Amino acid sequence: MIKLRNPIMLALDVDTDEHALRILDQVQDSVGAIKIGPRLNLRYGATFIEKVKAFAPVFVDNKHFDITSTVLAAIQASFDAGASFATVHALNGEDTLHKLSLLEQHLNQTRPFKVLAVTILTSWSQVNFAENFKQWSVGEHVVSMAKLAEQAGLTGLVCSGHELALIQKHNLFKVVPGIRTEEDLKENTQDQKRVMTPKQAMNDGASGLVIGRSIINSKNPRDTVKRILESIYS
């Protein structure tokens, strides 16, 4: 079991290691995990993950979607670099997801590690779905992928807060992106379509909350983290 000090998974969606470390110096030990996506991964690789894991468990978010051997190798590499979480697309299919679950079990003999199956991106909505997806609703797709991930043996999922109620019965670690504070929701959700506040998501069954802009764009990231936690537990 990966122990997080709180459910906030800080999305370090910035372009330089200097900027990222400056933010981490401010939040220090106040976040539960740190999400690193391609913007930083492709520039700085495993060396950067090694630095960041000193602050909190690292969540490598590259959403791998490829042939089975490539996806397995990518997840192994994420683990070897020091990650505690890593994402793959649920669309990889049951065979790949099952082999990932076996790899996850093997890696957990060394230290806690979780593969997260990504369902439907929060930048997608029923309106901008690809045509071949539109025969089902967003919710139907997410439920189907949750069932697939669970049947394959995985224990972690990524979905928007809007689908949490639909997958309550699935015993999964549910990571929710598209999280915005009340203030940010009033201004602009930018490229996210299916968004939700931290308190709403936690009340609906989220295990982890991916929060980026609300924290990294604030004048005082540490105070913002504190306010978010207070809003969740108030």
For 119-143, write each residue's pLDDT tens digit.
988 787 777 777 777 788 889 999 9
Q: Which domain holds residue 189?
A: 8-222
- In DSSP notation, 103-128 reads HHHHHTTTS--EEEEE-S-TT--TTT
pLDDT at 124: 75
**Higher per-residue confidence, 195 vs 2:** 2
CATH number of the domain at 17, please: 3.20.20.70
For 190-219, write each residue's pLDDT tens digit.
555 668 899 999 999 999 999 999 999 999
In this structure, is residue 128 part of a structural domain? yes
In this structure, is residue 182 part of a structural domain? yes
In this structure, is residue 3 part of a structural domain? no
- Cα 190 from Cα 175, distance rounded (Å): 20
pLDDT at 31 over 90: yes
Predicted confidence band of residue 85 (pLDDT cuts 50, 70, 90)? very high
Average pLDDT, the chain: 92
H-type helices in 137-189, by residue range?
Answer: 138-152, 182-187
Question: Is the whole model's pTM more than 0.75, yes or no?
Answer: yes
DSSP assignment letter at 39: H
Share above pLDDT 90 across residues of the chain, in percent, rounded to a whole number: 81
Question: Mean pLDDT over residues 141-149, rounded?
Answer: 96
Q: Which of 172, 128, 121 is nearest to 142 (CA)?
A: 121
In this structure, is residue 230 part of a structural domain? no
pLDDT at 6 over 60: yes
In this structure, is residue 86 part of a structural domain? yes
In this structure, is residue 229 part of a structural domain? no
pLDDT at 183: 74
**Higher per-residue confidence, 53 vs 133:** 53
In this structure, is residue 231 part of a structural domain? no
Total domains in the chain come to: 1
Cα-based distances in Å from 174 to 92, 157, 199: 18, 5, 15
| Residues known to be catalytic | 63
In this structure, is residue 232 part of a structural domain? no
pLDDT at 35: 98
Question: Mean pLDDT over residues 142-154, rounded?
Answer: 97
- The dihedral region occupied by 82, where left means phi > 0, alpha psi between -120 and 50, and beta the remainder, is left
For 99-111, write each residue's pLDDT tens digit.
999 999 999 999 9
**Higher per-residue confidence, 55 vs 131:** 55
Predicted confidence band of residue 184 (pLDDT cuts 50, 70, 90)? low
